[in-house]
Structure 1
Amino acid sequence: MAADDGIAGDISGSALIALDSPNRFINRELSWLAFNSRVLEEAFNPQHPLLERLRFLSISASNLDEFFMVRVAGLRGQVREGVVALSQEGLTPQEQLNIISERALDLMDEQQRCWRELKPLMRDSGVVILNDDDELTEADATWLEHEFQTNIFPILTPLALDPAHPFPFVPNLGFVLCFDLKRADGQPLEAILPVPVKIGRFIRLPDVPTTDDTRSPARFISLEKTIVRFIRHVFPGFEIVANGAFRVLRDSDVEVEEEAEDLVRVFETMLKRRRRGDAIRVKIDASTPEHLRELIRERLQATAQDVIYVDGILGLAQTSELIPSDRPDLQFEPFEPRFPERIREHGGDCFSAIRAKDILVHHPYESFDVVVQFLKQAAADPKVVAIKQTLYRTSKQSPIVEALIEAAEAGKNVTALVELKARFDEEANIRWARALERAGVNVVYGFLEYKTHAKLSLVVRQEADGARTYVHVGTGNYHPITAKVYTDLSLFTCDPAIGRDAAKVFNFITGYAAPEAFEKFAVAPLNARAYITKLIDKEIRNTKKGKPGAIWMKMNALVDGELIDKLYEASAAGVQIDLIVRGVCCLRPGVSGLSENIRVKSIIGRFLEHARIYCFGAGDALPNPQAKIFVASADLMPRNLNRRVEVFCPVENPTVHSQILDYILVGNLNDEAQSWRLKSDGSYDRVAKVKKSGADSDSESFNIHTYMMTNPSLSGRGASIEYNAPKELKRRK
């Protein structure tokens, strides 16, 4: 399977595109679908452990659900309101929906094909999904009926469909069984049965003892098959004439009225509204009889475009439940993150280590525990007088929040900026905000018109020579769970200018007063766009003076049309540009006269590439010691630069500078095993061809994730190590 393209027109590498032509952009939504196709490709990749392939399939399905709940819902809303404005690549909302529908159908077909391919492989490896009743032994059937009667039947709510029982509301992501039943006297009954969301989609049957040393297979049966098997308990006296199933995705895009007086109450209301949003996609099992299909379409008021018939399994996202914890042999080999040696060299004292030299921690290769320890030490240290913290996403049992509560209870001045507009985490953030307020933390919810996405911690400590400010700047969330699978950067510094800039950012958010200037930060929405443009312009001027011009950028998404045009301008001037864009990329590389000096790659692998790094040659080819480097919380998207509070922090310490440039960025650019190259027509080609199952692995394909797991970074090695880029990373493609 080739990754879907993202074209808005038929573009070839030799084609000429005018600088004002909408064809210079790739459609955002189609580029996203191409990204999710790359994720799905990893589920087909035989070089991954089998259950990791299943995990990639589940992620791809979950991604597609969210895409419809948010992006497609937004386009549908534009069509409903009569919006005909063109996107930057020249498509109306309806035209985008038409193309999305076609591409999404192809993607769903590939997901089901992948599921059909994985099932027999899983069975052969001892993870069995039972298909037929005759696969159940008598002991299995007895155990399963007891499980049904005890844990499933009490929470089922059958709903007859007649004038006295109107069709109920089916919530977002609701999964429903439907039945055409007949009583013994011939009386018909149509009914539906919502599948409970609080119990697992798959039931694991008891292991069967073996007579030798072989492992007992892990056997699963789906919840819906179990319910159908014992439907006589739900509808006694009826027999099934026909049955089917459907699943509903609803509009989950939340908008906030700017005049709202109480932001927390607004979001509590919005969350309830989300659960009752318009139906965006109705997936119906293809085996469902036509009259039941028609009933579902009619009662959900779904259009023909809204309804998809699935020949396979509904709710592929839930197949992650089929990854048993007792089968590590079918998963990636466990990896234990290193704790930065430099902190250990200072006896575990984070403040002492940071005073000695800036520290960069590279997650997940280095433990997120150091971030937690930094805040816990601040909470317990009597010399610490104030802590300020942004919270965008965090875990259910957050050690970060616990540390802030401990600090407040210890009498410190603690301010927590809780972003309520973190999509799909709003409910958890409201809960944390309430707990923090009860502990005496100053909780601030930020701006109504801006989302606070910056990742900042600020600690003020009274020391012998006066107050010193310690700052943590992150590219990812304060989330210890995602920090194990997302590649992100944590920069710790006590640089006075950065400390002052961080304080200005917090004051801007809490007091709404925009500072006149920053000493080192670039901050969206205040000056980040202009600052990045200025840095690109410097590279253009360097090439015009006969000096090398070079730009390296690593991000999750590149969408902003103004900055894409600026990169086109730089390419035309001869600036050499390498972009590592994991997900959506609306820039067309390699187009003659437009972008022939731009190369774009995407890395999809074991870890989710999440760090944002922006690097400018400053008069020399990259890499070089004088390059301007910034780590950031922001991608180059209009929302990040115009509607979010984001921070771009310069990296000036030579050790950290070298670690980011010579180790992380060069390593990413050299990766082959997990990399895809974006072509000018919007399609992607895998750099290293995947060998078929049973073939020897390609030892020549450099894998940045494997390399980073086995080669400690500067922070991991300690302060006494003089850093030279490993020879594996000195290659440049």
Structure 2
Amino acid sequence: MALSTKYINREISWLSFNDRVLQEAADPAVPLFERIRFIGIFSNNLDEFFRVRVATVRRMVEYGKDEETLLGNFTPQELHDEINNVVFLQQEKTQKVLHDILKEMESEGIFMVNEKQLTHSQGIFVRKYFHQKVLPNLVPIMLSKDRKFPYLRDRSAYLAVKLSKKQKPGKFSYALIRIPSRSVPRFLVLPEVGKKKYWMMLDDVIRYCLNDIFPIFNYDKFEAYTLKVTRDAELDIDDDISKSFIEKMEASLKQRKKGTPVRLIHDEEIPADLMEFIMKKMKIDDIEKTQPGGRYHNQKDFMDFPEIGKKRHYYQKLPPIPHKDLYSHESILKKMRKKDIMLHYPYQSFSHFIDLLREAAIDPKVVEIGITIYRVADSSKVMNALLNAIRNGKKVTVVVELQARFDEESNIYWSNKLQEEGALVINGIPGLKVHSKLLLIKREEKNGYRNYAYVGTGNFHEGTANVYADDGLLTGDPRIANEVALVFELFRQPFQGYPFDYLVVSPFHMRDFFCRMIDREIELAKEGKPAYMILKMNSIIDVGMMDKLYEASKAGVKIRLIIRGIYGLKTDDEELSKNIEAISIVDKYLEHSRILLFGNGGDERIFISSADWMPRNINRRIEVACPIFSNEIKEELRQMLKIQLKDNSKARILNNDLSNKYNRQEIEARFRAQEDYYNYIKQQHHITMKIYHNPRCAKSREGLKYLEERGYEIQVVNYMRDGISVDELRTIMKRTHLTVDELIRKQEQLYKEQYKNKELSDDEWLTVLSENPRLLQRPIVLNGNRGVLAQPPNEIDRIV
């Protein structure tokens, strides 16, 4: 029988999360082109859900296994049926939302057209584009009963084509064309007509030119219907001991691409004979695996929809805020010796981390670098910095997790590349995934070697760091850094015991540690003292940890949860969870950080962690939670939690009926956590830029615009109107390190007529500049005791 109904089923809870994503697409308050991007995110999420979770449920149904692990009152078959029901309703909702978005686009003068709506001139443009860009990437395959049916790639969209004669409909052929959206953009922007903009799907470009694809056949009627297959993404890893783990992974990845079909989505208008032919040839006899839908599939491509909208159609860009303690061209390791530093992505720039790696790579006193890799960007600056470190003679240890789902091929590539360059590459620990986010730098100093460390909640991926809300601690504190070094010893020699006094490491003692933290709150509650915890993470579905929270709630501990994704607790139960409140925030950035706060009798303890409270994280992965010792950083994290709990714009209440009602709607004032926290960080790390500005100068206006676009607080000095003193000029020289000669605009007519070839002292020149400010180079920008002549404007970055 299934586990107790005091929990919400994992799969059903995840579908509720994806419905929150769809809410963003449906929300008219969200900028128009961001709404269509959320359609893409919803579709991409659903694809992965079918590849992984639905495939697992189908195996339960087929083999009758793992039923005892299901949460909620479901058998595997009942759960599979419920998933299909929920997905069907969500897909219907998606089509309606997309229709509404397209209508709103039309009201903004932006029109989607299909192959039947093109004007003559548009048709000429489309056909020319087709022949130049699309046709070379097409491989049409004729289908027949006698030929083997072609393999359909996972997550690719295809056009199933029926060719026939209008006068003789009984004579027909079938063909298949893969829509080449990896090599050609999925969307074609057509030439504007007046103030109107037009775009069309690549699918319809192909439909418009079908007669150009099959010219040798004597057909005059062409019909094309979209279909897409989703395959089981489970890896079946060979146990052949004669093969390396990388060889086994490479073989299993090839098998994954041929995985069992889990879902076949198709255009609901597809003729019955064509659909029957495809199902028979693909050996799909289970109608549950087919799902009728609209005319276009692979809506994940909407994540990359062309930027043809106006400024108001997109989120306001919030430029990353430079950390107040991390200046360009200054040693980050030196700063880490003095204090702990926390970076909050994407509110602050991931480039600080890249700068730290680059510094370590060239610092002659750094002897060793260690890092854990789970996911990295395609052209990874992190990996390039590591390669540079190897070439600079550093000992580099890289723990690459080959089983990072859907990043396996990338990680195999980097494993081989790093080994070729001379790194020590460790491909995980048998039976465990390495999911912790750690960097170790070992440096030779006066009193011996010293360790520096970075402990984070998110991947070392400069791409996702722009859209994932994560946190990373930079520290030279030996309590943390020396234990990070112990974790790397664990990677090298995994079967020895390692004592951790400060870091909390799974699967060894994370469960026990946080259960003890909860027990401490339970004791305080029973003594009548304040007892509380605030837990922020992506998912909580581990039965043991959920039961512990139920126990704490019953004892009177106030529990507030911020859970972005899967949530297994029942929060509306008066007996079980009357002291538990939970919200989920879905907004422009993906909430990804894990922050755990415990009241601890007034001496609050705060941790950041790479782990969610799921069985896989606590039992089967190397994860690290790290205590925060800095009071300044504690306050920044405390404020984050406070601001998120206050959200009533993007926070939904997590309750038993999964209705996703918005939080605190009775409050008239609007609070939006991500923007509010950005403003908080901006205030905490504010930098006032002082610009000596001539409004009539184009270069000066460019410099001012550069500052404004990056959100700096700006002090504008109009020196042409208000004048500039000799003392101010001396300050400019000191902070910019410019000579008097470099401050003079020698192209000015005044200079050529009155001062060229004159031999004046520095003091005399400063007087001339003060009396004739038009001769001063511009714009000059100062930040504290640093300054620069901002030509070009990005020179400003040197003083940030």
Q: What is aligned with 2:699?
A: none
Q: State the one-letter code of the partner of 2:644.
A: N
Counterpart position of 1:336: 319
Partners in 2 of 1:355 and 1:325 — Cα distance? 48
**Structure 2 counterpart of 1:229:** 208
Give the 3 Å change call, closer, same or farther, for CA 223–688 of structure 1 in structure 2: farther
Superposition pairs for residues 539-558 of structure 1, below 5 Å?
Answer: 539-558=521-540
**Distance in 1 of aligned mates of 2:658 and 2:187:** 42
Deviations 1:617-648 (A, max 9, x none): 1014xxxxx21111000000000001110001
The separation in 1 between residues aligned to 2:353 and 2:95, in whole angstroms, is 41
2:555 maps to 1:573: yes
C-alpha contact (below 8 Å) 2:188/2:202 kept by paired residues: no
1:415-426 mapped onto 2 (5 Å cutoff): 415-426=397-408
- Mapped contact 1:558–1:581 kept (Cα < 8 A): yes
> 1:368 offset after TM fit, Å?
0.7
Aligned runs of 1:291-306 on 2, under 5 Å? 291-302=273-284, 303-306=286-289
Distance 2:684 2:228 in 1: 48
Matched, 1:85 2:67: yes
Match of 1:389, SS state, is strand
Listed one character per residue, the Cα deviations across residues 680-722 of structure 1 (whole Å, up to 9, x for unaligned) are 34433112669xxxxxxx971111111122232687259xxxx
Aligned residue identity for 1:426: E
- Structure 2-normalised TM-score? 0.82
User: Could you report, residue by residue, the CA deviation over 1:472-515 in whole angstroms, capped at 9, with x for unpaired residues?
Assistant: 00000101111111111111111112122111111112221343
Q: How many angstroms apart in 2 are the aligned matches of 1:160 and 1:599? A: 58
Q: Letter of the aligned partner of 1:658 in structure 2?
A: E
Distance 2:303 2:523 in 1: 51
Deviation at 1:209, TM superposition (A): 5.9
Q: Is the 8 A contact 2:137 2:183 kept in 1?
A: no
* 1:553–1:184 CA distance, 2 compared to 1 (3 A): closer
Q: Report the counterpart of residue 284 of structure 1 in structure 2.
A: 266
**Residue type at the aligned position of 1:103:** V
Matched, 1:123 2:102: no
Higher relative contact order (CA 8 A, sep 6+): 1
Tell whether 2:425 aligns with 1:449.
Answer: no
The equivalent residue for 2:644 is 668
Code of the aligned partner of 1:657: K
Displacement, 1:127?
3.1
> C-alpha separation between the residues in 2 aligned to 1:458 and 1:218?
52
Tell me how far apart the structure 2 counterparts of residues 501 and 714 of structure 1 sit (CA, whole Å): 33
Corresponding residue for residue 5 of structure 1:
none
Does 2:39 match 1:63? Answer: no
- Aligned counterparts of 1:514 and 1:614: Cα–Cα separation in 2: 29
Q: Name the SS of the counterpart of 1:702 in structure 2.
A: coil
Q: Equivalents in 1 of 2:90, 2:510: separation in Å?
A: 36
Compare 440-449 and 125-134 and name the one that shifted more. 125-134
Contact 1:437–1:443 (8 Å) recurs in 2:
yes
Query: Aligned equivalents of 2:683 and 2:472: distance in 1?
Result: 13
Question: Corresponding residue for 1:351?
Answer: 333
The question of whether the paired residues in 1 share the 8 Å contact of 2:5 and 2:73 is answered with yes
Q: 2:83 aligns with which of 100, 111, 117?
A: 100
Alignment of 1:233-312 (within 5 A): 233-236=212-215, 237-240=218-221, 242-257=223-238, 261-302=243-284, 303-312=286-295
* Alignment correspondent of 1:652: 629
Runs of 4+ in 1 over 6 A off after TM superposition: none
**Could you tell me whether the CA contact under 8 Å between 2:60 and 2:67 is conserved in 1?**
no
Letter of the 2:507 counterpart:
P
Partner of 1:730: none
Q: Distance in 1 between matches of 2:412 and 2:310?
A: 37
What is the count of residue pairs matched by the alignment? 680
Q: Are 1:321 and 2:304 matched, yes or no?
A: yes
Q: Of the candidates 665, 668, 679, which is equivalent to residue 710 of structure 1?
A: 679
Answering whether residue 637 of structure 2 is matched by residue 700 of structure 1, we say no
> 1:204, 1:220 within 8 Å by CA — same for their partners in 2?
yes
> Per-residue deviation at 1:205?
3.7
User: Which residue of the other structure, out of 619, 625, 629, is the alignment partner of 1:642?
Assistant: 619
Question: RMSD value over aligned CA atoms?
Answer: 2.1
Deviating more after overlay: 473-482 vs 297-306: 297-306
Query: Counterparts of 2:541 and 2:161 in 1: how far apart (Å)?
Result: 46
Deviation at 1:36, TM superposition (A): 0.4
Partner residue of 1:114 out of 97, 102, 117: 97
1:198 to 177, 182, 201: 182
Aligned to 1:585: 567
Cα deviation, residue 279, structure 1: 0.6
Q: What is aligned with 1:563?
A: 545
Separation (CA, whole Å) in 2 of partners of 1:23 and 1:82: 20
Q: 1:240 corresponds to which letter in structure 2?
A: K
User: 2:516 maps to which residue?
Assistant: 534
Secondary structure of 2:191's counterpart equals coil
Gaps of 5+ in 1: 1-7, 9-19, 211-215, 621-625, 691-697, 719-733
User: 2:439 aligned with 1:460, yes or no?
Assistant: no
What is the DSSP-based 3-state SS (H/G/I as helix, E as strand, rest coil) of the residue aligned with 2:307?
Answer: coil
Q: Which residue in the other structure is 1:728 paired with?
A: none
Following the alignment from structure 1 to structure 2, what is the Cα–Cα distance between the partners of residues 713 and 245?
48
* 1:294-333, Cα deviation, whole Å (9 max, x unpaired): 1122222221101111134322212233332664431111
Aligned equivalents of 2:142, 2:59: Cα separation in 1: 33
SS of the residue aligned with 1:468? strand
Query: Post-superposition shift, 1:265?
Result: 1.2
Find 2:587's aligned residue among 596, 599, 605: 605
Q: 1:688 to 1:235 in 2, by over 3 A?
A: farther
Q: What's the CA shift for 1:62?
A: 0.8
1:184 positional shift: 8.8
| Partner-residue secondary structure (3-state), 1:343 | coil
Contact 1:603 1:609 in 2 (8 A): yes
Can you list the C-alpha shifts for 1:418-464, whole angstroms capped at 9, x where unaligned? Answer: 11111111111111222212221111111231110000000011112
Alignment partners' CA distance in 2, 1:92 and 1:45: 35
Residue 90 of structure 1: how far off its partner (Å): 4.1
Rg: which structure is higher? 2
Give 1:92 deviation, angstroms. Answer: 2.3
* Aligned CA distance change for structure 1 residues 242 and 137 (closer, same or farther; 3 Å): closer
Tell me if the contact between 1:460 and 1:470 (Cα under 8 Å) persists in the aligned partners.
Answer: yes
Partner of 1:488, secondary structure, is: strand
Aligned to 1:429: 411
Q: Which one of the candidate residues 185, 189, 199 is aligned to 1:220?
A: 199
Is 1:628 the counterpart of 2:597? The answer is: no
What is the deviation of 1:564? 0.2
Corresponding residue number in structure 2 for 1:213: none
Choose from 680, 683, 694 the match for 2:656: 680
Q: Distance in 2 between matches of 1:327 and 1:320?
A: 17
**How many angstroms apart in 1 are the aligned matches of 2:308 and 2:382?**
27
Aligned-pair CA distance for 1:147: 1.4
Distance change >3 Å, CA 643–CA 714, structure 1 → 2: farther
Displacement after TM superposition at 1:84 (Å): 5.8
Residues 379 and 404 of structure 1 are in contact (CA less than 8 Å); yes or no, is this contact kept in structure 2?
Answer: yes
The one-letter code of the counterpart of 1:250 is: R
Change in Cα spacing, 1:126 to 1:415, as seen in structure 2 (3 Å) is farther
- Say whether the 8 Å CA contact 1:523–1:645 is kept in structure 2: yes
Provide the TM-score with structure 1 as the length reference. Answer: 0.89
Which amino acid letter does the alignment assign opposite residue 381 of structure 2?
A: P
Distance apart, 1:465 and its partner CA = 2.3
Q: Shift in Å at residue 609 of structure 1?
A: 0.8
Whole-angstrom CA distance in 2 between matches of 1:253 and 1:218: 43
How far does the alpha carbon of each residue in 1:86-115 deviate from its partner, in whole angstroms, 9 at most, with x for none? 313342222211111111111111111111
SS at the partner of 2:455? Answer: strand
How far off is 1:257 after superposition?
A: 4.7
